[in-house]
Amino acid sequence: MSAMQKYLDLYNLPLEELIEISSKITKENFNNEVEFCSIISAKTGKCNENCKYCSQSAHNKAKIEVHELLPVEDVRKAALSAKENGATRFCIVTSGRKPNGQDFGKIIDMIKAVTEIEGIHTCCSLGILDEEQVKAISKAGVERYNHNINTAKSYHTKICTTHDFEDRVATIKLIQKYGIEACAGVIIGMGETREQRVEMALQLAELNPKSVPINFLNPIEGTPLEGMQGAIDEEEILRTICIFRIILPKALLRYAGGRTTRFSKEYQQLGIKAGINSLLVGNYLTTTGASIDEDLELVSREGLCVTKN
């Protein structure tokens, strides 16, 4: 039996049995803590990449508030606010394929300002970086770098054609080369098949990321995927979380974008039970998230606590 068929067979197990398997794997590999992280869109919009899901792409027609790089002090204050809300990680995110020279210098200042805050681990998501840029962010204090594969290699050209799947993999491997943890995840519900969801998880397993954000497509008006609201239902999302936990037993699985619009509180709770042990808290890049009180309640119901450092 192929690995693909093995995991497809698991997909079809009774839901309670599948959750029991993935929950057991989580308990074997992790304690009862859940990691909270927060992000800031330090630069929003005007991205030349043509990712079909993204409201920030200049190729799309979504109505969002566009802005250039924020002042360093604004980013520092946002990191302090995230810490007050229980986040131990703060991620600086910028739109675009990669930061230009002038922007990159300011981003390094942002990283240093956040790194100086006691109790906050600094992360960033800046696109496709070259080796010198990776060295610079490592020296400035970045501990974890987010660069999602987004979808399966076999489906990539259906979602984006302005860069290759291999471009994303190369960046992930490059940051790992310099001792930065990889945060590499996916977006599910973009029309991919079950086989391609298994493919995503297997491809991530080869990259061995520390953290795997699982985004659920939020079909934003003005993007090519705006009509994909019913592409995946809650049970299929939950089954996918279980499969990701089985294939990625030691990775932090993180609730990320789309959670509050595509997943009811009941299913969010089941996802925690199945193996989600990290949450993106607060608002997302261009959409609104859950309140911190809601997320604390979500975690406590499963007898879990928030990581303190």
**CA gap 272, 6 in Å, rounded:** 24
Residue 263's CB is within 10 A of a number of other CB atoms, namely 19
**CA gap 117, 162 in Å, rounded:** 37
Spatial contact of 145 and 183, defined as CB atoms under 8 Å apart: yes
Which residues are CB-contacts of 45 (< 8 A; sequence separation ≥ 6)? 56, 58, 64, 65, 66, 67, 95
Which residues are CB-contacts of 111 (< 8 A; sequence separation ≥ 6)? 92, 122, 124, 137, 140, 141, 142
**CA gap 209, 147 in Å, rounded:** 10
Spatial contact of 233 and 262, defined as CB atoms under 8 Å apart: no
- Please determine, looking at this structure, whether the domain spanning 3-306 carries the CATH number 3.50.50.60: no
Here the tokens at position 11 are 């997909």
Q: What is the DSSP letter of 204?
A: H
Measured CA to CA in angstroms, residue 150 lies from 128, 153, 175 at distances of 14, 9, 17
b/e 272-289 (16+ beta carbons within 10 angstroms → b): bbbbbbbbbbbebbbeeb
Could you tell me the pTM of the whole model?
A: 0.94
* Length of the chain counted residue by residue: 309
How high is the pLDDT of residue 295? Answer: 87
How high is the pLDDT of residue 287? Answer: 44
Tell me which amino acid residue 118 is.
E
Here the tokens at position 276 are 């989600």
Spatial contact of 301 and 271, defined as CB atoms under 8 Å apart: no
How high is the pLDDT of residue 102? Answer: 86
Spatial contact of 217 and 53, defined as CB atoms under 8 Å apart: yes
Best CA proximity match to 256, nearest among 117, 10, 89:
89
Domain ranges of the chain: 3-306
Measured CA to CA in angstroms, residue 31 lies from 25, 208, 243 at distances of 11, 20, 20
pLDDT tens over the chain, length 309 residues: 788 999 999 999 999 999 999 999 999 999 999 999 999 999 987 899 999 999 888 888 887 878 899 999 999 999 999 898 889 999 999 998 999 888 999 999 999 999 999 999 999 999 999 999 999 999 999 999 999 999 999 999 999 999 999 999 999 999 999 999 999 999 999 999 999 999 999 999 999 999 999 999 988 889 999 888 778 999 999 999 999 999 999 999 999 988 888 888 999 999 999 999 999 987 545 444 567 888 888 888 888 888 877
Q: What is the DSSP letter of 44?
A: B
Best CA proximity match to 40, nearest among 107, 97, 139, 98:
107
